[in-house]
């Protein structure tokens, strides 16, 4: 049981980590060169939440099934699961598609000489950054629920 808790905590940390970096790497005011680099870096970091986040859910379910944690309907358990699903929905449904469009623009050979983002790309970057701020808040709240375990 201790090993399962350890694995759960470790994969949760690894899975949440890139969520906290998203709003830093994709900040609103940066050069296009920096943005190109950071978009590629964020794309690589996105693998961690997908893999480790899935493992965190699986180990969490195993912990509930095999441990003395009580009903899944407790605020901290159900709330954490709902918040995790909300984060996934935001990232998969909103951030990733917007980031893919921005990446196509950034790496289009016709735009290599650009020194500023056009207004529609600036608006997309602001949207992405704001959504990453939201996911950071939700991930932080999951950690609070997991530590405080309100009933």
151 pLDDT above the threshold of 80: no
What confidence score (pLDDT) does residue 18 get? 82
- Kindly report the average pLDDT of the chain as a whole number: 90
- The per-residue pLDDT for range 107-122, each reduced to its tens digit, is 999 998 888 899 999 9
pLDDT digits (tens, 9 = 90+) for 60-95: 989 988 988 888 888 999 999 999 889 989 988 999
pTM: 0.87
Evaluated on CA atoms 56, 40, 90, 129, the torsion sign reads positive
């Amino acid at each position: 049981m201790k090993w399962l808790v350890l694995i759960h905590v470790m994969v949760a940390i690894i899975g949440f980590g890139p969520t906290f970096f998203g709003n830093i790497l994709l900040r609103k005011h940066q050069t296009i060169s920096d943005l190109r680099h950071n978009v590629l870096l964020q794309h690589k970091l996105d693998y961690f939440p997908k893999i480790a986040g899935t493992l965190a859910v699986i180990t969490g379910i195993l912990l509930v099934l095999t441990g003395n944690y009580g009903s899944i309907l407790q605020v901290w358990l159900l709330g954490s699961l709902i918040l995790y699903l909300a984060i996934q929905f935001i990232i998969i449904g909103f951030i990733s598609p917007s980031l893919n469009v921005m990446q196509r623009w950034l790496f289009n050979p016709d735009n290599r000489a650009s020194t500023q983002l056009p207004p529609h790309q600036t608006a997309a970057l602001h949207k992405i950054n704001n959504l990453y701020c939201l996911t950071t808040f939700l991930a932080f709240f999951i950690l609070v629920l997991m530590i405080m375990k309100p009933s």
